[in-house]
């Protein structure tokens, strides 16, 4: 029987960076923009070869959208204009992730400012599930809604749209997910990924689509014949909602190039002086310097709090935060979010410990891990699956079984095992499923779990017949450590925001000299210093969770390869450059 070797502390294999462009090309570009050589290398890797291209990249400005660019946008504006004129209530229906919450917040707030009779609702993952549901539609009907405008959801809501129509409500879908073969019979659909839509940015977020709708609606009202609507539209700075758009887009992991880069960068600038009291308080409570925001700040300090409420039940607390009228109210909402996050962490730790115990009790030789329990919280199973992958280095599925005998499952994987392909090959086992190569979610009846487990293990045995694929770290570019200066970090910051299609670069240096002692800090972390050579300035290095590598480098005078992110470290009021190491040999 083929099995997977237990987790090993062996370091990942370092893939060297791609060859640099011709030296003359690199140096000419660096000289043109008066920047360090590595900045030119990073621009060339992004296909930017001249000063004009660099200026457009570093100073992107989101251009306004013509209604003709997005299929259905002109019709959506016309329908909402009529709804306002007739005093019809327009309900914004978001979803429970950060993209759906921020999109619902900005559209609801914008509609209110434009004079609409507006309402909002969010689904509860434990009471009706995600997206448009009969439960949420019944509630909106009871509250007098004539229109339901979805945000970040609805593109597959065929039955739910028909149900809304049966209740006498009209439906406008705004979404960004891939379209199914059959679309809902909504009055209008806004989705760049629907067939026939010419909108060029297919990677825009759900809140991005909602913002474009609000932008077009505001422009139409400002140019319209209704003097009251025109006055309200002219007084509305729709750009002030870009801070919420940036937050939702970063949380949804959209590609950060082209239009998305311009929108998110503009939104991060807006956050520095946000007019949204809830967002200001949230940034304050997370300890973030709003004048120097980065995508890392948002993803590791802000979105976990916002996600906690959706994971643990209802995301309404997050949305109410963004609708807060004063700081006192906003602090109360953040208090609730922090409490939910503490509860989530406790459940995460408890459920993870139980999952580890199951593996140790009889699954260590399985090529793929499938664990399930009726006591696990559905909101943390994805986190637990990721922790299984981190520890055991193999595909892992975690399932929470409810009282009706239906399990909600979440999967994470390693290189060499495509989750989407694995689930698609056994679609008959699921109530429903979805996902991509490295993450998935599904529902399955409890009696089908053994067959699912056997099928996944069998696929993993084939995929890893020659052993597990070793972890790899692909460096972005080779750099001379002497370029890692304060000025160099200022230039690196101009590449923000980092994310898909604009990843934070992984720097590669070889034959670097170890300087001073190598030690561990906090039991788990590795600390040392390096320099380019005799006489050059040493740079501090921190290796988080890499203390197990101490014996590999202790006593050596140099490292063959070092892959790292350069950054500022502030400790006890002192600010120093440090290299956050990802891999070394």
The DSSP-derived string for 24-92 is: HHHHHHHHHHT--HHHHHHHHHTT--SHHHHHHHHS--PPPPPTTTSTTHHHHHHHHHHHHHTT-EEEE
Within its chain, how far is the Cα of 348 from the centroid?
A: 20
Residues 6+ positions from 490 with CB-CB distance below 8 Å: none
Q: What is the DSSP string of 546-585?
A: -GGGHHHHTT-SEEEEEEEEEEEEEETTEEEEEEEEEEE-
What predicted TM-score, i.e. pTM, was given to this entire model?
0.89
| Under 8 Å between Cβ of 527 and 520 | yes
3-state secondary structure of 458: helix
pLDDT computed for residue 5 by the predictor: 46
Nearest to 563 by CA among 1, 17, 50: 17
| Under 8 Å between Cβ of 421 and 463 | no
Cis omega (within 30 of 0) for bond into 469: no
Q: How many CB atoms lie within 10 A of CB 83?
A: 20
pLDDT computed for residue 10 by the predictor: 59
Length of the chain: 585
Domains and CATH numbers, the chain: 13-18+475-584 (2.40.50), 73-334 (3.90.1640.30), 363-463 (3.10.310.30)
Q: Kindly list the averaged pLDDT for each block of 10 residues, start to end, along the chain of length 585.
A: 46 87 96 96 96 94 81 97 97 93 98 98 78 94 98 94 98 93 96 96 96 97 94 96 97 92 94 95 91 88 88 86 97 94 91 96 94 91 93 94 93 91 94 84 95 96 82 91 94 94 95 93 92 88 91 90 93 89 92
pLDDT computed for residue 128 by the predictor: 66
Q: What CA–CA distance (Å, rounded) separates 477 from 26?
A: 13
3-state secondary structure of 253: coil
Match 């890392």 to its residue by tokens. 296
Nearest to 108 by CA among 70, 154, 149: 149
Beta-bridge mates of residue 543: 526
Nearest to 368 by CA among 9, 12, 1, 3: 3
């Amino acid at each position: 029987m083929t099995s997977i070797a237990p987790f090993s502390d062996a370091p990942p294999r370092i893939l060297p960076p791609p060859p640099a462009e011709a030296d003359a090309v690199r140096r000419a570009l660096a000289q043109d923009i008066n920047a360090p050589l590595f900045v030119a290398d990073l621009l060339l890797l992004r296909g930017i070869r001249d000063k004009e291209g660099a200026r457009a990249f570093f100073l992107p400005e989101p251009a306004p959208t013509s209604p003709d660019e997005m299929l259905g946008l002109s019709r959506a504006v016309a329908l909402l204009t009529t709804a306002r004129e007739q005093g019809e209530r327009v309900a914004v229906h978001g979803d429970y992730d950060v993209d759906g919450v921020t999109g619902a917040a900005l559209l609801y707030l914008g509609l209110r400012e434009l004079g609409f009779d507006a309402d909002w609702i969010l689904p509860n993952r434990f009471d009706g599930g995600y997206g448009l549901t009969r439960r949420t539609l019944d509630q909106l009907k009871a509250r007098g809604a004539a229109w339901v405008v979805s945000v970040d959801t609805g593109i597959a809501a065929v039955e739910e749209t028909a149900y809304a129509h049966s209740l006498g409500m009209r439906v406008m879908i705004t979404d960004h997910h891939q379209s199914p073969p059959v679309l809902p019979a909504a009055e209008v659909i806004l989705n760049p990924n629907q067939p026939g839509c010419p909108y060029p940015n297919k990677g825009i977020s759900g809140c991005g689509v909602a913002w474009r709708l609000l932008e077009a609606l505001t422009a139409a009202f400002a140019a319209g014949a209704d003097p009251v609507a025109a006055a309200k539209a002219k007084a509305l700075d729709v750009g002030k909602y870009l801070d919420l758009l940036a937050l939702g887009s970063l949380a949804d992991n959209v590609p950060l190039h082209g239009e998305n880069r311009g929108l998110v960068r503009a939104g991060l600038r807006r956050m520095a002086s946000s007019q949204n009291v809830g967002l200001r308080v949230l940034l304050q409570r997370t300890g973030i310097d709003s004048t120097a925001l980065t995508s890392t700040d948002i993803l590791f300090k802000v979105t976990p709090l916002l996600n906690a409420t959706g994971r643990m039940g209802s995301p309404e607390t997050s949305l109410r935060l963004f609708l807060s009228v004063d700081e006192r109210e906003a602090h109360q909402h953040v208090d609730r979010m922090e409490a939910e996050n503490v509860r989530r962490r406790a459940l995460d730790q408890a459920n993870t410990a139980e999952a580890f115990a199951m593996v140790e009790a009889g699954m260590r030789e399985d090529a793929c891990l499938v664990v399930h329990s009726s006591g696990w919280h559905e909101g943390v199973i994805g986190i637990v699956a990721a922790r299984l992958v981190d520890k055991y280095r193999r595909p892992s599925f975690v399932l929470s079984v409810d009282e009706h005998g239906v399990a909600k499952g979440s999967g994470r994987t390693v290189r060499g095992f495509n989750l989407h392909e694995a689930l698609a090959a056994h679609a008959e086992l699921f109530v429903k499923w979805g996902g991509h190569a490295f993450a998935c979610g599904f529902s399955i009846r409890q009696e089908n779990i053994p067959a699912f487990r056997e099928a996944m293990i069998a696929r993993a045995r084939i995929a890893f017949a020659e052993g597990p694929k070793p972890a790899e770290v692909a460096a972005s570019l080779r750099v001379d450590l002497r370029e890692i200066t304060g000025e160099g970090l200022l230039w690196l910051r101009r590449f923000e925001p980092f994310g898909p299609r604009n990843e934070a670069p992984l720097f590669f240096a070889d034959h670097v000299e170890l300087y001073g002692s190598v030690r561990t800090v906090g039991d788990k972390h590795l600390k040392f210093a390096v320099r380019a050579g005799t006489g050059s300035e040493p740079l501090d290095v921190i290796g988080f969770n890499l203390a197990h590598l101490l014996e590999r480098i202790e006593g050596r005078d140099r490292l063959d390869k070092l892959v790292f992110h350069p950054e500022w470290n502030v400790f006890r009021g002192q600010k120093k450059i440090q290299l956050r190491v990802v891999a070394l040999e």
